[in-house]
């Protein structure tokens, strides 16, 4: 049975909501979960998209949708102090190259503080304080994020995600099958158990015969 790969950026409330749920599915199926912090801005730039926070009505919808989901499931939810924010330090400190065997615990701490308690995830000082409160040496971990090798590791993680077709976060891959979004957990579970309802479908029938018109791509800014 294949494992699951999770691609996430702390900017996404849906990544916060999916994090404990994908872990539960993997534990129930006894499969490995590998975690890949990626820079959402890099994905957006590659595929020519705007992020939800760059479209005010969409940003409001996403926050309300996430809050509704959290309320229904008894999950603490409060947006980080600033949003959007620069996620680089939080992402780099969450890489396996920095976090090591504590990777899941560090991600837990940052998600909980940022999206559960409304702490700032955009400053190195705040990230260090959050990690200190969770029992880590925050300053030592954050200092490692300035290492060029760590910066390259996050860049490589983002580039590798793009090469595999990842276009947004959170994304979960089961083998080469891509599942995007907080609402895809059931499909991840079905895929892991061999119950994907489109597994034997001729996928060429899903997209028609190609476009007959294309809109002009809007300019950013």
Q: What is the pLDDT of residues 118-170, one digit of tens each?
A: 999 999 999 999 999 999 999 999 999 999 999 999 999 999 999 999 999 99
Lowest-pLDDT choice from 1-5, 79-83, 137-141: 1-5
Q: Which pLDDT belongs to residue 180? A: 98
Per-residue three-class SS string for 99-161: HHHHHHHHHHHHHHHHHHHCCCCCCHHHHHHHHHHCCCCHHHHHHHCCCHHHHHHHHHHHHHH
pTM of the shown model: 0.94
pLDDT at 203 over 80: no
220 has a pLDDT exceeding 80 = no
Q: What pLDDT is recorded for position 140? A: 98
Where does the pLDDT of residue 218 fall: very low under 50, low under 70, confident under 90, or very high at 90 and above?
low
- Please give the Cα distance from 76 to 58 (Å, whole number): 22
Give the per-residue pLDDT at 206.
77
Average pLDDT over all residues of the chain: 95
pLDDT, residue 221, reads 53
Residue 188 has pLDDT above 60, yes or no: yes
* Ordered structural domains, the chain, with CATH: 4-9+36-195 (3.40.30.10)
């Amino acid at each position: 049975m294949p494992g699951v790969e999770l691609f996430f950026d702390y900017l996404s409330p849906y990544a916060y909501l999916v994090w404990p749920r994908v872990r539960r599915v993997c534990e129930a199926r006894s499969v490995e979960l590998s975690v890949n912090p990626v820079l959402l801005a890099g994905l957006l730039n590659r595929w020519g998209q705007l992020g939800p926070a760059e479209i005010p009505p969409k940003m409001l919808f996403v926050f309300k949708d996430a809050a509704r989901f959290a309320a229904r499931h008894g999950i603490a939810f409060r947006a980080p102090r600033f949003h959007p924010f620069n996620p680089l330090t939080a992402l780099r400190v969450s890489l396996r190259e920095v976090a090591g065997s504590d990777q899941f615990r560090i991600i837990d701490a940052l998600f909980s503080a940022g999206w559960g308690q409304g702490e700032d995830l955009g400053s190195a000082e705040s990230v260090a304080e959050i990690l200190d409160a969770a029992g880590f040496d925050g300053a030592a971990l954050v200092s490692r994020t300035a290492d060029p090798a760590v910066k390259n590791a996050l860049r490589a993680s983002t580039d590798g995600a793009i090469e595999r077709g990842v276009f947004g976060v959170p994304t979960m891959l089961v083998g080469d099958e891509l599942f995007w979004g907080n609402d895809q957990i059931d499909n991840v579970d079905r895929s892991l158990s061999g119950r994907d309802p489109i597994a034997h479908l001729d996928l060429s029938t899903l997209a028609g015969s190609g476009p007959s018109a294309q809109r002009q791509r809007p300019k950013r800014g």
